[in-house]
Amino acid sequence: MSASKAFYVKNNNGTQVQAIGLGTYTSLGGDCERATLHAIDVGYRHIDTAYFYENEGEVGRAVQQKIAEGVIQRKDIFITTKIWCHFHEPERVEYACRKTLQNLGVDYVDLYLMHWPYSYVYRGDSEMMPTNAKGEVELSDVDYLDTWRAMEKLVELGLTKSIGVSNFNSEQLTRLLANCKIKPIHNQIECHPALNQKPLIALCKQHNIVVTAYCPLGRPDPAKKQPSFIYDAKVQAIADKYKKSTAQIVLRYLIEIGTVPLPKSSNPKRIEENFNIFDFKLTAADHAVLDSYNTGERLIKMEHAIKSKNYPFNIEY
């Protein structure tokens, strides 16, 4: 299987990114390194990590190994990572980015995202969920615009080629666009058939911002046969029609509604399967079935941050 099978999406700053990426959240203990190595061999050229995931080192080692083997050059692979909420004070942003580059063992990243629009009190680099005596996460009130301005400087310094956001709602995105020098190239959001995000995708499209989709398969649980859009007979029937799995149908749907899905797996067979979605197209009738699962129910609610004025999920989208 070759990288040429997957198409590329143009970013608003002239760079491009492969239309699918490898998600790495909760991939640890060598799993992430093995998954990244295999994904590159399969043809993935887009890897998504984050400071919070504590696996940037594993991603970096895999990328370096594949460069050393001559499989890829650095320019061939698009590495996305993210600044965590305790580094939002503008004076910490460059430090956070340099720490990430050190973890990855690279001179630059292709995309540096603001992981969430809200921020935490800084209690040390590794204290990522600082809590008070009551056990509540300590929120701070840094304005994400101030964090963004510090991120813009990272582009000027050459530490990242591009910057973007994650989990920003329509109001936050609109405010950012009205106040930025450098436009975000991506908004990475939870997106799957139960939360298809069509209004937010439309807004992003209007501003030429690529939507990347995390939790694209809704965190399947075979024991509970959840989510229904992976286990239902209606979706299985579509999968049978194309000789694909239900996961492949869902990923194809997400591509066709205008997102770049980031399926996470450390299973070699699934990593291959998730990539093999570029040789068929869904019909309008298939879309209608998948659209019917849209309940708006989120998996990732981050309710500990609900008191923050920058909590993103208090409005419809």
Question: pLDDT tens digits for the chain (317 residues)?
Answer: 444 489 999 999 999 999 999 999 987 778 999 999 999 999 999 999 999 999 999 999 999 999 999 999 999 999 999 999 999 999 999 999 999 999 999 999 999 999 999 999 999 999 999 999 999 999 999 999 999 999 999 999 999 999 999 999 999 999 999 999 999 999 999 999 999 999 999 999 999 999 999 999 999 999 999 999 999 999 999 999 999 999 999 999 999 999 999 999 999 999 999 999 999 999 999 999 999 999 999 999 999 999 999 999 999 99
Query: What is this structure's pTM?
Result: 0.97
What pLDDT, on a 0 to 100 scale, did the predictor assign at position 242?
A: 98
Residue 231 Ramachandran class (φ > 0 left, ψ -120 to 50 alpha, else beta)? alpha
What pLDDT, on a 0 to 100 scale, did the predictor assign at position 26?
A: 83
Quick one: 314 exposed, middle or buried, by C-beta within 10 A (0-12, 13-18, 19+)? exposed
Q: What are the residues facing 226 on neighbouring strands? A: 221
What pLDDT, on a 0 to 100 scale, did the predictor assign at position 36?
A: 98
What pLDDT, on a 0 to 100 scale, did the predictor assign at position 3?
A: 45
Q: Strand, helix or coil at 212?
A: strand
In which residue are the tokens 């049978």 written?
240
Q: Strand, helix or coil at 5?
A: helix
Residue 123 structure tokens: 């209690």
The C-alpha atoms of residue 10 and residue 276 are separated, in whole angstroms, by: 21
| Selected catalytic residue, list 25, 44, 51, 53 | 53
In which residue are the tokens 């093995």 written?
34
What pLDDT, on a 0 to 100 scale, did the predictor assign at position 2?
A: 46
| 317 catalytically annotated | no
Task: Say if residues 259 and 201 touch (Cβ distance below 8 Å).
Answer: yes
- How far the first Cα of the chain sits from its last, in Å, is 37
The C-alpha atoms of residue 167 and residue 154 are separated, in whole angstroms, by: 21
What pLDDT, on a 0 to 100 scale, did the predictor assign at position 5?
A: 83
What pLDDT, on a 0 to 100 scale, did the predictor assign at position 1?
A: 42
Pairing of strands 186-190, 210-214: parallel
Could you give the C-alpha distances from 120 to 190, 206, 301, 308, in angstroms and in order? 21, 31, 16, 10
What pLDDT, on a 0 to 100 scale, did the predictor assign at position 28?
A: 74
Contacts (Cβ under 8 Å, ≥6 apart) of 69: none
Residue 60 Ramachandran class (φ > 0 left, ψ -120 to 50 alpha, else beta)? alpha
In which residue are the tokens 């591009």 written?
162
The C-alpha atoms of residue 196 and residue 162 are separated, in whole angstroms, by: 26
What are the strands, taking DSSP E only, across 191-263?
210-214, 259-261
Task: Say if residues 202 and 196 touch (Cβ distance below 8 Å).
Answer: no
